[in-house]
Amino acid sequence: MSDVPRPSNIRLRKQSRVLELDYPDAQSFSLSWEYLRVYSPSAEVRGHHGSGAVLQTGKRNVAIIDIKPVGHYALQLVFDDGHDTGLYSWEYLYRLCSQKDVLWETYLEDLREAGASRDPDTQVLHFEP
């Protein structure tokens, strides 16, 4: 895993609600807390062994309340909704950075298809005429 880029600087921006990652090759990325939460690498979100992923809804206002280093290979992000089981490896974080636009559009499309919302207090109901 030595060829996986590791951030040289990590900043948690509370006002703008983003995690900023700077890489040694001068690339910088800003990832919203919501994006990081809905793409948590935890089994609770991604499913077990690649199946059973759970669409995360109502996470627009989620906050990161703590960041913990895990060895020399990952970060554990602690969210204010109680979620703290995802370990964001350097490889996974870089994937989230480099594929952010595509992944975010995929998430928004999944929400639309499910009739779900990013807002925590919005419930979409479907009625048969």
Distance CA 53, CA 46 (A): 4
pLDDT of residue 52: 79
| Domains of the chain, first to last | 9-114 (3.30.2020.30)
Span 69-86, pLDDT tens digits: 999 999 999 999 999 999
Distance CA 40, CA 31 (A): 12
Span 26-73, pLDDT tens digits: 899 999 999 999 999 998 888 876 677 899 999 999 999 999 999 999
Span 100-110, pLDDT tens digits: 999 999 999 99
- On average, the pLDDT of the chain sits at 91
Residue 5 has pLDDT above 60, yes or no: yes
**3-state SS record for 78-116:** EECCCCCCCEEEHHHHHHHHHCHHHHHHHHHHHHHHHCC
**Banded pLDDT at 89 (limits 50, 70, 90):** very high
